Every structure is written in C-alpha cells, then in structure tokens.
Structure 1
Amino acid sequence: MSVIENAIIERICALCEIPSVSGNEGKVAKRAAGLLEQDGLSVELQEVEPGRSNVIARLKTGREGSRLLFNGHLDTLPPPAEGWTRDPYRPAIENGRLYAAEVNNMKGAVGGMMWAMAELQRRSADLCGEIILSAVVGECDSLGLGTVSALERGLTADFCINGEPTDLAVMTSHAGVTQLKLTVHGHPAHVSQRAQGIDAISGLVALLRHIREDALTYTAHPDFPGLPTIHVGVIAGGILPSMLAPSAEARIDVRTVPGMTPQSVLGDLQRLIEEAKKQDAKLKAEVVLSKRPTFMQPHPFHMATDAPIVTAVAKAHLAVSAKPAHVGTLVPQVFFGSDASHILAAGIPTAIYGPGQVSDISTANESIAVADVVTAAQTYLASALSLCAKGRPS
C-alpha cells in the first residue's frame, strides 16, 4: 500500500481495535482524541453522559470563509455473537478487504475523516474558514443523542458531510423515525374470576389490529419509495399465565416522509385510540413518544440533488475516483435514520457519503473494501479543499 493508504488504514484500525457498543464509547473517544491532537488539531472531549463523550476537533485557519463539518458516530451496534472465524477486534487486511467489527457502520468513514483532518491541518495555509470533525456517541442506540447535544452546545457550520455507509453514493433522502410506547391498562384477576377483571393483553391485541399505515396522515413522496411504514417491534405484558394482565405495552416504530412529524404521528395514534374507546368503554390506553435520552425522534432528511454541498461531494468523488457518483435516493438506506437529519434540522445543508455496504453491516467476519475507504477519505479531503479554499467567497 502507498503511504497515503497506510495512513488512512492505520487510523481506521486504531478505532476498530476498541469495542464501542453504544453506551461504552469512552475508550474509543480517548483514542480518537489522542490521534487528532497528535495531528495538531484543537480537540475537545465533550461529555454527553457519564463515560460517553463526543470528540470535537477543529481546524481554525484564522481567515474568513466557509465552515465545513464532518460528522460520524463512534458507537456501534453489538457485533454478532456467533459465526466469527477471526478476532473481531484485531483488524486484518486480506485480498483487498479490511476485516474488523463495525468497520462499515461507521469506523471506516470516521477514520477516513480523521485522516482528512490531518491532511487539511498540514495544508492549512491554503485554506480559509474552519473545518470541524464531530465524532459522536449515541447514534446507534438513540439516533442522535451525541449530535443533538453538540448542536445544543453551539456546534454549527455552513455545510456538513455525514459519513454513513452509502457505498460511495451521495445520498439526499432518508426517512424520519418516530418511536412511541402504547400502553393498555387492565384489572388483574385469576382466570377463575375472569368476569371481575379486565385483560390488558386482549385490549392491546385488539388495538394492534388497527396499527397500519392507513392510520397515518401523510402525502406520499417520490424520493421516499415504500414509505411511510409502521411496525410493532416489542410487546410486553402480564404477570402470570393464569392471571388477566394488569397492563400491556407495545413499542412502535414509524418511518416517516416529509410533512410528517413526531407530533403528527402521535396525534394519529391518539385518534385511533379514541375511536377504539367508542367501541369499548372499558378500554384504558394511552400512547406517548419515546423521550430523550432513549430516543431522539429524527425528522425526515431531504436535500436537493443540486444543493451546493451535494454537488461539491459528487465533484470531489469524480475527481478522486474518475467515476461519477450516484446522487439521490438509495434503497434500502432510504428506510434508515441518521444524525444528518438533526444537522439539517439545525439549518446546516448536509450530504451523506461514506464507504461500506448495507449487506456487510454487523455481520460475522465483517469487512470493507480497502479501495473504498481510501476513496472516501480522499473525497472528504477533496471536498474540504474545494469548499474551504483560500480566496473562495464565503
């Protein structure tokens, strides 16, 4: 490998050597911060919760110009428990692929951004404005805790590149994600005295028959194919098989399109409950939005395909790879959520671009093409050199 390729891969491997399942990002954040400081950048460890810190690295040129933000998450999903034939935390390269746990989602992109920041620091005399890297916690578990915390503390920019895995396409749309808890209350009684009780599980089952997309208020959008969706992913209730349940609950996930909000989805399900109560006077039920820090309720993400940041990343990719990037909607990624939605909601135009394929995320013996992480890292660098070139109008 070339000197550049080695430098990129070294940073990615430094992250991949450290387990960082959501809630346990402390060690990897310190490793990332230490490497960025060695590269001469100004670094802040920004505590979000005890033991969970964002890494905010800044390159301030001292000259007026655009502010560019790189954004990626340090936390990961739990790797598969079975099927590995190698140590998931001992990165290794074989046949042009880098094998490591959660390298696709998204330590490959974050390591590439770190390398780009180091290169930009070395070239800072040719730059204007400010370039920032936010390597955050709390994306995989809450869809935004770290990024929202950073934004609330003043993180801002004129443009952003988020590095979620897009297989080197420039993604411009993905669903919003609303999550809720539906609870039905009953009155416990032994099965021998059923008439004296109210079974919450039966009430919940009756309600769930109506939890369908046609219960939602929305206008279909061509950039969001197959959306919206509504899904009941968790059901819990009861105390004993021989007892009528005193309570039962369902956790609901709704993937939304533009025009829908967490409040509109909540209103739709509240109306559904009120209609059900007209049919069953004994029904006691309520639905509430999942709240911070458990879940951050990201809105739909949607950017114009000709937005300046989208165009800049697409041009940079072409310059690096000599191949045009797909720009627009991706399937299945359009069903995903990401921190890009919070960044866009804060008024920062954002493009999503990163290495990695959806089919490789959280698999045993997970791997990523070395050529792809190198292309992504060099595209991040080229994008910044274009957007923050000295003399470029801000």
Structure 2
Amino acid sequence: MSSPEETARLNRLMSVVDGLRDEMTASLQELVRIPSVSPKYPGIEYKDHVGREGEATALLTDLYRRAGASVDVFAVEEGRDNAIGRIGGKGGGNSLIFNGHVDVVPGGDPAGWAKAPPFSGEVIGSRMYGRGTTDQKSGLVAQAYAAIALREAGIELGGELQLQCVVGEETGDHACGTGAVVERGYVADAAVVSEPSAPPTPLSIVVASPGLLWFSVTVEGKKVHGSMRGATVHPAHSGDLIGVNAIDKVFLVYRALRALEDEWARTQRHDLWYNGHFSLLPGAMRGGPGDLTVPFALSDTATIEYGVMYHPERSPEDVTAEIQAVIDRAADADPWLRDHRPHCEWKLNWDPFVTSPDDGISQSVAGAYRTAAQGTAFSDQPSYTGLYGVCDATVFTRTGVPSVVFGPGDLRVAHGNDEYVDLDEVWLAARTYAVLATRWCGTASPVS
C-alpha cells in the first residue's frame, strides 16, 4: 500500500503529465511528419532515405535534454543517429531503460490512405493518423514526456533512467541500432520497449514474442515456348523432356508448407497467443521466363519469400530443420524436383524473447498501470499477452536484461494504410512510464 507521501508524489506527477498532453501531441505530430523510413528497407534506395532517421532522433534529443538528461548521440552509419539520454540517479535504486525505434516502414501509395496522407500526423477525433504513429513514434514521445514530467514535478530518481531512441529496428539492423547501443555499454536492471502492445487490449503488458525466420525457396524449370504447355503437363506427351514450368513446381513446395502451417495450428500452441498464430507466410513471389513477365513461355525459375513466426520455446535450428525436411519430402515425391532440388536461402533469424509475468519488471509495469489508469476510461486491470510480431526486447534479454513491451498503439494497424494511434493511449502510457520510473528506480526527493 502506498504511503501518503508516495500518493501525494504520484498524484502531483500524473497531474504534470496531464498538463503536458497538448505538447505531447504536438511533438508526436512533428515527429510523424519526418519520413524517417529505414533506408535499408527492401525495395527502396538507401541514398534517398538515409539521414531522415537522424532528423527524427534530433527531435527526441531535444526532448531528452529538456528532461534534464545528458545525451550521447552516435551513429554506426552516417545520418542514422541513435540517442541515449541518461538521467543519473541519486543512489539506492534500480536502473531502467525506456527504449523505442525512430525508423518506420515506407508510407506506400498516398492514394491508398483514405483518412490522411501517410506523413501528415493529422488528428481526427481522438486519433492521430500517419506512418509511425503506432509503430512506434508515439511510444518514444510518451517515454520522453514521462521523463520531462518527472523533472517538472521536481522528482529525482534513486536509480538511473535511460531514454533510448534507436534506428534500424524495422529491418532487424541491430548492428546499427539497439545492438550497437548495448555494445556501447548501455544496459540496466530492466528495460521497457515501447512497441505497440495491443492486441488483445490497449496497453497490454507483453512478456514474450515469437521467433522470426525469413527464407526463400527457389525451384528451377526448363523454358520453352508457351504453346508447349499441354505437352509438358500431360503424361501422354513428352513432359519434362520438352520443358518444365517452375511456377507449377514451386506450388508443390507451397502446398507442403501450407500443410505444415495447418499442423502447427494444431500442435504449436501457447497460452499467450491464439491457436494458429505461429505461421509460415508466403509473403512475396516471383517467377517467369528469365526476366520477362509475360505468359508466353514456361518459367525457368520461381521463388517464394517466406516469413515464419515460430513458437518461443523452439530453437531456430529446430524450426529450420523441420521446414527443410518438409521441402525435401515434397521434392522426393516429384520426379523433376527429385533431380532438381529446391534451393533454400536462410536470410534472417530474429530470436524470441520471454520474460516471466512474475518477474519484477513485469509486476512493476502492472502496478504502475493500475495506478495510472485508475479513474480513467480504461480498465485498471492489466492484461498480459504475447507480441504478435518481433522487437528489440530480444536484444536486451539476450544480454541478460529482463524486458517487457508496453506501449500505445495496435499492431493490427501498423505497416498498413491509415495507420493511427489513439491519443488517449499515448497519454495513459506516459502516465504509466512516469509512475513506473518512480517505483522501479526509487525516489530521492522530498515531498513539497
């Protein structure tokens, strides 16, 4: 139970956060209007986008300094600045990291955005629209304003609070972002990553994520004039002596992996996710006769790019071996693929993270949320969930820093047209971060 002194301190602190709400919205709008697309995102030109992350980081840097932090700005690649704001503790408390990424995915075709242009930051009702509103500039701004509120409320912390604004998360470029931050020595007793933590409920507490694999599977065919289609697919004719359509053959692999996906829905289950969340997404496909995209010859190559979300209790080696075995069995069953084996290229593994709901940081976030949400339109009972996607919490847990995800926004609208964030969630997140900092780090200031 809180003492009267702590209750007075927290009420004053939350009142200061409430008074900063309009400024918080304005800062978020300014940040969203910077198109800080990750320059390494597939399909875009690096030179056209490099430097915009740095512009966005500069805005956060100003907020960190306003909070009284000493700021270390550094880049692994020029123009891609990370910023670490350190608010030194007076002693006797735990240290804490508030982490978020400033890079976003491309905005896409503006014509596909019905509510507002992708980098407008337009506010309609209680929502702000724009790329990065949910994923995840709103979390960064809420964390920064929580720290500003601590200063304006005259609260000094016992342990150090780090405000981390990083680049490269959207492409798993940890070497330029959070990984580089950790290598630079910025670790703490716990970390809160401000990715959008809904669904299932707004501002859930995320204590685990799936693992992510990205691989491609390519099959070869034999190019021949399109008029030979019938002769190549019917056994009464010459078949693969004349030609083989690679697109037909890659679908044999697709069907085998689709069956594995159905099997996972029955066997790969976890209490924090709905049944069927762990999946194999055929997210992109290409094929054709050479570089042509006309249907007048049999395709001599076909490739499917897969994104795999796997169970957090499995190793990437185990999942890779299972997928490869399924592809091999599909190849063994087909005369052409038996002699012309599908080729897999394993491009990325992003490990899962797991933190117990009973861990100290999990419980501290839950308690801070209860306090911050009391008397609001939100439920004051926290919910625990698994992240639908992946995030930089993995980098921290890999180095022994217990981490959770807690932030405004809903992953179901991230990366899509008309991405938005509910500004009430941004406000409540800032309240929660501020309360959390006082409880986790402790306070060293008298009550006025």
One-letter code aligned to 1:135: C
Query: Partner residue of 1:388?
Result: 441
| Equivalent in 83, 90, 102 of residue 74 of structure 1 | 102
Single out whichever of 256-265 and 96-105 deviates more from structure 2.
Answer: 96-105
Query: Partner residue of 1:283?
Result: 340
Q: Are 2:69 and 2:86, in contact at CA under 8 Å, matched by a contact in 1?
A: yes
CA spacing shift, 1:113–1:206, aligned 2, 3 Å? same
CA distance in 2: counterparts of 1:49 and 1:37, whole angstroms: 23
Q: Match of 1:54, SS?
A: strand
Query: Partner residue of 1:294?
Result: none
Alignment RMSD: 3.0
Q: Are 2:95 and 2:190, in contact at CA under 8 Å, matched by a contact in 1?
A: yes
CA distance in 2: counterparts of 1:210 and 1:56, whole angstroms: 47
One-letter code aligned to 1:327: S
Query: Partner residue of 1:154?
Result: 185
Is structure 2 residue 181 aligned with structure 1 residue 128?
A: no
Deviation (angstroms), 1:29? 1.6
Is structure 2 residue 22 aligned with structure 1 residue 6?
A: yes
CA distance in 1: counterparts of 2:187 and 2:259, whole angstroms: 36
Is structure 2 residue 259 aligned with structure 1 residue 224?
A: no
More strand by share: 1
The percentage of counterpart residues that share the same residue type is 26
Q: Match of 1:210, SS?
A: helix
| Equivalent in 368, 380, 390 of residue 421 of structure 2 | 368
Is structure 2 residue 264 aligned with structure 1 residue 233?
A: no
| Equivalent in 277, 302, 316 of residue 368 of structure 2 | 316
- TM-score normalized by structure 2? 0.76
Deviation (angstroms), 1:3? 3.0
Deviation (angstroms), 1:185? 3.0
Q: Are 1:143 and 1:338, in contact at CA under 8 Å, matched by a contact in 2?
A: no
Q: Give 5+ residue unaligned stretches, structure 1.
A: 292-296
Q: Which runs of structure 2 are paired with 1:258-269 in the superposition (5 Å)?
A: 258-269=312-323
Query: Partner residue of 2:254?
Result: 208
Q: Match of 2:274, SS?
A: coil
Q: Are 2:224 and 2:242, in contact at CA under 8 Å, matched by a contact in 1?
A: yes
CA spacing shift, 1:289–1:53, aligned 2, 3 Å? farther
Is structure 2 residue 381 aligned with structure 1 residue 325?
A: yes
CA spacing shift, 1:91–1:185, aligned 2, 3 Å? closer
Q: Match of 1:209, SS?
A: helix
CA spacing shift, 1:88–1:223, aligned 2, 3 Å? closer
Q: Match of 2:256, SS?
A: coil
Is structure 2 residue 31 aligned with structure 1 residue 19?
A: no
Single out whichever of 352-361 and 363-372 deviates more from structure 2.
Answer: 363-372
Query: Partner residue of 2:79?
Result: 51
Query: Partner residue of 1:36?
Result: 64
CA spacing shift, 1:305–1:261, aligned 2, 3 Å? same
CA spacing shift, 1:181–1:366, aligned 2, 3 Å? closer
Deviation digits for residues 336-358 of structure 1, max 9, x if unmatched? 22222332233221121112234
Q: Are 1:168 and 1:325, in contact at CA under 8 Å, matched by a contact in 2?
A: no
Q: Are 1:185 and 1:248, in contact at CA under 8 Å, matched by a contact in 2?
A: yes
Single out whichever of 211-220 and 19-28 deviates more from structure 2.
Answer: 211-220
CA distance in 2: counterparts of 1:180 and 1:282, whole angstroms: 22
One-letter code aligned to 1:344: T
CA spacing shift, 1:118–1:221, aligned 2, 3 Å? same
CA distance in 1: counterparts of 2:270 and 2:188, whole angstroms: 28
CA spacing shift, 1:204–1:50, aligned 2, 3 Å? farther
One-letter code aligned to 2:258: R
One-letter code aligned to 2:382: H
CA distance in 2: counterparts of 1:229 and 1:366, whole angstroms: 24
Deviation (angstroms), 1:263? 2.1
Q: Are 1:179 and 1:254, in contact at CA under 8 Å, matched by a contact in 2?
A: yes
CA distance in 1: counterparts of 2:69 and 2:310, whole angstroms: 39
CA distance in 1: counterparts of 2:248 and 2:114, whole angstroms: 42
Deviation (angstroms), 1:182? 1.0
Q: Match of 1:151, SS?
A: helix
| Equivalent in 170, 177, 180 of residue 212 of structure 2 | 177
Q: Are 1:305 and 1:327, in contact at CA under 8 Å, matched by a contact in 2?
A: no
Q: Match of 1:335, SS?
A: coil
Q: Give 5+ residue unaligned stretches, structure 2.
A: 1-16, 40-48, 233-239
Q: Are 1:68 and 1:157, in contact at CA under 8 Å, matched by a contact in 2?
A: yes
